[in-house]
Structure 1
Amino acid sequence: MSDHLQADFSVKPTLVGERVLLRPFLLDQDAPVLRSLLQDPEVGRLTGSSHGPADREPWDEAAEERMRAWYGTRHEQADRLDLAVVERATGACVGEAVLNEWDSGNHSCNFRIALAEAGQGQGFGSEAARLIVGYGFAGLGLHRISLGVFAFNPRARRAYEKAGFVVEGVRRDALLYEDVWVDDIVMSILAPEWERHHGHPETAQG
């Protein structure tokens, strides 16, 4: 049973789908897109890393160094999995997909994804989610993978639902953005559910 598999996050796989693949970061190649993600006000809003225009800082040499230090060490992390999302047709990085907050005793992880504008609206998010979630269950022996999505991001919520995540609760008023309180919707997927539909709940029987 997958629950008895010892998770090994030190392995950084390449996961190949129909339209995207997930692979370890190639910093020099991926840096422009990663930089654009970190500078994008809309990404900051949707991920809750920004509370509004007032707390956005200019991109300077120190920010560049922090970005390169972060992504340049993702392959060394033994308790999380950070992978670049790459469009297969072009070979271009369009974002990142992450399994983090590993709870080894409970076989659980958090999932998050961020896509640049070039990777949005094409189904890349759902496919990338299926790839890394499938690896989490089959390759890492996880039992539960969860995420949070803010109420003002229905497009992301739909992408997660298409990949098999289900709503299990709401963290009310979890984010204050431009003086407006926003709920954080908690979603998850369990290993038995994945075994049943493999990320395609709309086609699952029964």
Structure 2
Amino acid sequence: MSETAETPLNQEPNRELPPRIDIPEIKGEMVHLRPATIEDLPRLDELDAYYNASRITGKDAQAERAVAHAWVRRSVAWSQGLAASESGVGDPESRRTIAWAVLTDSDHDDDGRIDAETTDNVIGMVFLIDIDGWARSARIQVLLGKDYRGRGYSRDMMPRVMTYGFAPEPAGLGMHRIWVAVPEKNTRSLSVYQSLGFVQSGTSRDALWDAENGKYQDLIVLDTLFDEYDPIRSLDAFGMHVIEDNPGMREALAMREHSIAIQQNNRETSRETSGRSGDDTSDNDRLRDEAFARIGVELNGDDDDAAAHAADDKRETSPSAPSDTVEGDSTWPYGQSDRKPSKNAWWRNLGLSRKRDTEESR
């Protein structure tokens, strides 16, 4: 991630953000991400990326454009080792930003041409903003061109960006919390975030103006914590493959293998004491996995048919950890205990000794 050394397991993490960051490239199945540049900003205008901004983020197009330009400039400044005050747009709280350009080389309309050929393959941006080193918190936001919305691109990129955000340093940012703020009428984004494991943590009443309907609307705040987020399950819910060399994924896989070994050991101990057969246990595991696959499709709803169909493909999303990964070196915190399938919130069982009120998010 940066020029800082890895934090020992028994030492309190440094709560100062590094003066410079190396923004990694991130690979997806449908898109790939690279650090955004100032030169990418005019492409957002060409993509009509600020179209219907009031519905998607609650801002008017002019305000949305202004913040996107500020985020990119702050990201570039951080990658160059400049202080927040030297970004050209300032940041009084010194909360850094990372901006990636979203690129695709696909021809989804089968016209024989790359979809985003005229914008050098750029179809939008994804941001980690308000990165607070002291609280270990960041906010995620996606900005896509008008013609590239609703195609499943967010479902491909967001779990991978969040994996990097939560992964321990130096593999990732080492965040404790990632959050979003979504207008109440943006039901599509709410569905995506909930499928990723975000839970509603608050509501800002009448915080936004709904120009389309001429009335105020609420701003919904959702978040997820580092010991609740499961990157493997998040990808599986959308029918996406794990890409092992993405930042933070090796740590996630190593911890998953460690957790699976614990589960297997617990099952063997249980069979020895209760006399249950191995076949019964295997059947239970199969039924549980099938239930989670169904949950992923149901949570997606009708917002993205392609992602829903992909979830039925029975893809392998939990390969073994790389042979050069040492489990003891990982500080990834989540566990993989046996879960009870829950259509409303399967991810809530991923926390380590953490209880959260789920009623208000249903």
TM-score (norm 2): 0.47
For the residue of structure 2 that corresponds to 1:80, the secondary structure is strand
Tell me the CA shift for residue 189 of structure 1: 1.2
Alignment check: 8 A CA contact 1:162 1:201 kept? no
Mapped partners of 1:158, 1:72: distance in 2: 30
1:51-90 to structure 2, matched below 5 A, reads 71=72, 74-77=75-78, 79-89=96-106, 90=114
For the residue of structure 2 that corresponds to 1:105, the secondary structure is coil
One-letter amino acid matched to 2:77: E
One-letter amino acid matched to 1:157: L
Mapped partners of 1:101, 1:67: distance in 2: 13
Q: Which has the higher contact order (CA 8 A, sep 6+)?
A: 1
Deviations 1:52-84 (A, max 9, x none): xxxx66xxxxx99x9878746632236211111
Alignment partner of 1:189 is 2:224: yes
Q: Which residue of 2 aligns with 1:109?
A: 138
Tell me the CA shift for residue 196 of structure 1: 7.0
For the residue of structure 2 that corresponds to 1:77, the secondary structure is helix
Mapped partners of 1:151, 1:77: distance in 2: 33
What is the alpha-carbon root mean square deviation over aligned residues? 3.2
5+ residue gaps, structure 1:
51-55, 58-62
Q: Which residue of 1 aligns with 2:194?
A: 161
1:5-154 to structure 2, matched below 5 A, reads 8=18, 10-28=21-39, 30-36=40-46, 40-50=50-60, 71=72, 74-77=75-78, 79-89=96-106, 90=114, 92-138=121-167, 139-154=172-187
Mapped partners of 1:69, 1:190: distance in 2: 27
Mapped partners of 2:158, 2:195: distance in 1: 10
Mapped partners of 2:71, 2:232: distance in 1: 35
For the residue of structure 2 that corresponds to 1:48, the secondary structure is coil
- Name the CA shift for 1:32/1:103 in 2 (closer, same or farther; >3 Å): closer
For the residue of structure 2 that corresponds to 1:126, the secondary structure is helix
Tell me the CA shift for residue 38 of structure 1: 6.4
Tell me the CA shift for residue 177 of structure 1: 2.7
Mapped partners of 2:69, 2:210: distance in 1: 28
Alignment check: 8 A CA contact 2:71 2:129 kept? no
Mapped partners of 2:133, 2:186: distance in 1: 30
Alignment check: 8 A CA contact 2:55 2:185 kept? no
Specify the structure having the higher radius of gyration (Cα).
2
Tell me the CA shift for residue 190 of structure 1: 0.9
Mapped partners of 2:158, 2:51: distance in 1: 23
Alignment check: 8 A CA contact 1:15 1:22 kept? yes
Alignment check: 8 A CA contact 1:12 1:24 kept? yes
**189-198 or 76-85: bigger deviation:** 189-198
Q: Which residue of 1 aligns with 2:322?
A: none
Between the aligned residues of both structures, percent identity stands at 27
Q: Which residue of 1 aligns with 2:318?
A: none
Mapped partners of 2:199, 2:191: distance in 1: 10
Deviations 1:21-54 (A, max 9, x none): 11112554x445311466734024422221xxxx
TM-score (norm 1): 0.78
One-letter amino acid matched to 1:80: T
**172-181 or 195-204: bigger deviation:** 195-204
- Name the CA shift for 1:198/1:190 in 2 (closer, same or farther; >3 Å): farther
Mapped partners of 2:152, 2:75: distance in 1: 25
- Name the CA shift for 1:43/1:143 in 2 (closer, same or farther; >3 Å): same
Between the two proteins, the alignment pairs up a number of residues equal to: 194
5+ residue gaps, structure 2:
1-8, 80-95, 107-113, 115-119, 238-291, 294-337, 340-362
For the residue of structure 2 that corresponds to 1:152, the secondary structure is coil
Mapped partners of 2:135, 2:70: distance in 1: 30
Mapped partners of 2:206, 2:68: distance in 1: 30
Which structure shows the bigger proportion of residues in strand conformation? 1
